[in-house]
Amino acid sequence: MRNVLAALILFFMGAFSGVIFAQARPDLAVPEVVAAFTECFDEVQKGCPLLLGYTQSLEVENAKLRRLTKTILFKSKTACAQGAEAKK
């Protein structure tokens, strides 16, 4: 019984010290989160140039896809019309 009690006390002391450590030094406990937050904060301070560049590249790709879709649809309509005329 004493061993179980001692093990529980050690467990809770370790868990409690881990919580205190994470609160005192979050950069050491979860460095990925802190690094991501810092990078995001820096980007916002710069005016989000990476986000704007990404948005512009997406718009260029969307325009290419729209043109391609219109071309494919036009070709398929033309082929259907030619097939319908050939059946007459």
The reported pLDDT for the residue numbered 61 is: 95
The reported pLDDT for the residue numbered 29 is: 67
Chain segment 47-80, per-residue pLDDT in tens: 777 788 888 999 999 999 999 999 988 888 777 7
Q: Quick one: three-class SS letters along the chain?
A: CHHHHHHHHHHHHHHHHHHHHHHHCHHHHCHHHHHHHHHHHHHHHHCCHHHHHHHHHHHHHHHHHHHHHHHHHHHHHHHHHHHHHHHC
- Write down the domain spans for the chain: 15-87
